[in-house]
Structures are given as structure tokens and as C-alpha cells.
Amino acid sequence: MLPSFIPYQVEDCYSVLNTMKAVYFLAAFVLLGLASKLASASDPSPLQDFCIAVNDAKNGVFINGKLCKDPKLATPEDFYFSGLNIPGNTSNQVGSMVTPVIVSGLNTFGISLVRIDFAPYVGLNPLHTHPRATEILVVVQGTLYVGFVTSNPDNRLFTKVLYPGDVFVFPLGLIHFQFNIGHTNAVAFAALSSQNPGVVTIANAVFGSDADINPDVLAKAFQLDKNIVNQLQSRFWSDNDNRN
């Protein structure tokens, strides 16, 4: 005959097992939630009406952990920019110029805006990526051939010829470009889903890095003769972003 305390031990085991299942489920749920948050990561939402950027910490105040200009001292000028009607200087190697909108009142809002000018027919915004932003571009003048390439293993190329009034989206982190195929100047405006989208120009990063990437690495990666790699690395790689 089994001792009378055995059933209680069995019940305790079931209780422990059920508790462990609940803990595992909760842990899995939390991890899924964190993964979902990471998958849809973007600039954090502000916790105040605005946080005007300041250059000197002495002139700022902390608002919800952010160093900002004292809101009581804010003026309309903090939210204003003038000059996007002025064409950018496209007299450079790539024949284009990116003019960013610098507005201190945009701080913490997770958005930015640029004007892009292209020289006739040869103007190119070269292959580049924005590691922290999706880009939406609208053409207001000229004709642009634009496109982006998807990630491995497909590496699909999506291209379109754009005319004034046309809009195209470049997904976050993907290599993309814009090229003026018309015989007149072209102008486009682009909004990006980050206050600091970042830009990695492929040719500059690969062949103009500081310090140089070992030529043997590049020769193998691009299946090129090492002398060609050395020649490419010796070139001066220009930047069409007038912030630099």
C-alpha cells in the first residue's frame, strides 16, 4: 500500500510543472515582444512637444533626459529654414549636390529633408545606403533613372524612370542611386525617416577608406587585377553632400 503522502507529492509536481510552463511561456512572450520591437526599430518617439537642439550645454535644460533649449526661449526661427529654392553646385566629379535642411527644431522628431541637384545627363547620386532610414523621393524637375538592389541572396534590381511629380521609395539600408538621364538640370526632394539617417557611399567606403583596405582583399572580392585595385584606391573620391 502506497503511503498517504504520495498523492500530495504528485499534485505538487503537477503544480511545479504548470508553473514552469507558465514561466517559459512568459519568457517566450517577452522575447517575442523584444524581437518585434527590434524588427520595427526607428528613432524613439519624443516625450515632449519639442526639444530644440543646443550647441552649448550651458544654454540647455534637461527635458525627459534630453538636453534641449529652454522651451520658454523658443522662437519661430527654431523651426524655420530658408534656401531650398537655391540650386546646389553640381560642379564636382559626380555632377550632383545634396543640400540638407538644418533646423534645430527637428531634433528628436525622427525625420530629415534634403534637396538633390543633378547636372544635365551626367548628374549622379552614386550608389549609397542609409543605415538608419527609409527614403522617399519626389522629382520636381528633369528626368531621373533611379533604383535599389535588395539584400542577399536575391540581389534584385528595382528601377524606374521618374518625371516631375513622380515619387519613389528606397527601403532602409538598401543600396540605391539616382541618375539624371535628361538634357536639363534635374531637382528632387527627399525625406528620410531618421533625424540622422547616415550615408555610406559604396565607392568611397570600399576604395577610399581611411586606412586603405588591403588590395588583396578587394582584388579577391571584386575579381579584379590587383593593379586595378591600386589604381582605384589612388583616386580622389569626392562627396556630393555639402555638409562635409
Q: Which string of DSSP letters, residue by residue, matches 188-202?
A: EEEEESSSS---EEH
Q: How many domains does the chain have?
A: 2
User: Is 6 within the bounds of a domain?
Assistant: no
Higher-scoring residue by pLDDT: 179, 18: 179
The CATH number of the domain holding residue 142 is: 2.60.120.10
pLDDT confidence band for 5 (50 / 70 / 90) = very low
pLDDT confidence band for 65 (50 / 70 / 90) = low
pLDDT of 222 higher than 70: yes
pLDDT of 106 higher than 60: yes
Same domain as 209, residue 95 = no
pLDDT confidence band for 242 (50 / 70 / 90) = low
pLDDT of the residue at 64: 60
One-letter amino acid of 231: Q
pLDDT of 200 higher than 70: yes
**159: helix, coil or strand?**
strand
Residue 135 assigned as binding residue: yes
Given a contact cutoff of 8 angstroms between Cβ atoms, the answer to whether 240 and 98 are in contact is yes
Residues 188 and 178: their CA atoms lie apart, in Å, by 10
Same domain as 216, residue 181 = no
Question: pLDDT by residue (tens digit) across 71-82?
Answer: 888 999 999 999
pLDDT of the residue at 57: 72
pLDDT of 16 higher than 60: no
Same domain as 153, residue 227 = no
Residues 25 and 137: their CA atoms lie apart, in Å, by 44
Domain region containing 169: 43-198
pLDDT confidence band for 68 (50 / 70 / 90) = confident
Residue 183 assigned as binding residue: no
Residues 121 and 142: their CA atoms lie apart, in Å, by 10
User: Is 99 within the bounds of a domain?
Assistant: yes
Reading the block at residue 234, the C-alpha cell is 589612388
| pLDDT > 70 fraction of the chain, expressed in percent and rounded | 75
